[in-house]
Amino acid sequence: MTGRLLLVPNTLDFGVDSSAPPAALSDVLPMEVIRVAARLSYWVAENAKTTRAFLKRVDAEVPLAQPLQSLAIVELPRSQKGAKAGGAQTDLEPLLAPALQGHDIGLISEAGMPAIADPGAALVQVAHRLKIAVVALSGPSSLLLALAASGLNGQSFAFVGYLPVDAGERSVRIRELEAASRRLMQTQLFIETPYRNETLLSALLASLSAHTRLSVSSGLTLPQGWTRTDTVAGWKAAPTSLAKDVPAVFCLLA
């Protein structure tokens, strides 16, 4: 029998600089997910180091079926920066060999749901081609949590990834997204590297119309996490600072 590819959610606190210890996994993940993770011997990971850290947290709640050092953890190949979606890709079939031999494999991201704004989607595509069952386990997705908390249109929305780093190109892209949002009545979601969050927020306030609604969710699922939704005019009247080491999700609706 063929094994399955299990999409194992991770917490959203990866990379957050905090002196406080991380929360218990069971505060964020369903206990059944933790039990499944504890028994898996094979993993495909975005980052092997952070996966080992995740499994240590699993072991603190449900003992691992095997010692951590004996688990097979392989990393997804890093895509080249600037590579276009759908272009030539590394052969990922070898990563799924354990499933073809009857073993379940866990796919895990550095944070949140694998295959959502995450390179793991390519492996899921290969699994379907090889007729390997794919099972998504319940867990946090920063994009959906931010959308739900925003109060913006949850019936029609689009995730557009990262905006350009160049200031001029970024301003053009922001206006394009605002125009698309207005035309389609669609919420636009995007993210940024945490240390550039403030720069992006400033660019949004400078480029968007006063009545466009802007929502920012910072540190979702963390004790200090928050979501604020207001018009651009409201944001300008009562500025809010963003931490440089805490991930944020941005949503706009024109």
pLDDT at position 88: 43
For 111-136, the DSSP string reads SSSTTSSSTTHHHHHHHHHTT-EEEE
Mean pLDDT over 50-68 rounds to 95
- Residue 88 and residue 151: Cα distance in Å, rounded? 39
CA-wise closest residue to 112 among 243, 221, 228, 17: 221
What sign does the dihedral 107-111-115-118 (CA atoms) show?
A: negative
pLDDT at position 6: 98
Mean pLDDT over 121-141 rounds to 96
- Residue 179 and residue 140: Cα distance in Å, rounded? 30
Mean pLDDT for all residues in the chain: 92
By mean pLDDT, which of 66-80, 153-167, 213-227 is the weakest?
A: 66-80
Asked whether the predicted pLDDT for residue 85 surpasses 60, the reply is no
pLDDT at position 82: 42
**What is the homologous superfamily of the domain 142-253 according to CATH?**
Tetrapyrrole methylase, C-terminal domain (3.30.950.10)
Q: What is the CATH number of domain 4-136?
A: 3.40.1010.10
Mean pLDDT over 168-180 rounds to 98
pLDDT at position 87: 43
Domain with CATH 3.30.950.10 in the chain: 142-253
pLDDT at position 15: 67
Q: How confident is the model at residue 89 (pLDDT cuts 50, 70, 90)?
A: low
- Residue 126 and residue 143: Cα distance in Å, rounded? 24
**pTM metric for this prediction:** 0.88
Q: CA angle, corner 44, sides to 40 and 46, nearest 5?
A: 130
pLDDT at position 86: 46
Per-residue model confidence as pLDDT tens digits over 102-115: 999 999 999 999 99
- Residue 96 and residue 92: Cα distance in Å, rounded? 7
pLDDT at position 1: 83
What sign does the dihedral 168-147-54-14 (CA atoms) show?
A: positive
Mean pLDDT over 206-212 rounds to 98
- Residue 113 and residue 100: Cα distance in Å, rounded? 24
Domain with CATH 3.40.1010.10 in the chain: 4-136
pLDDT at position 22: 73
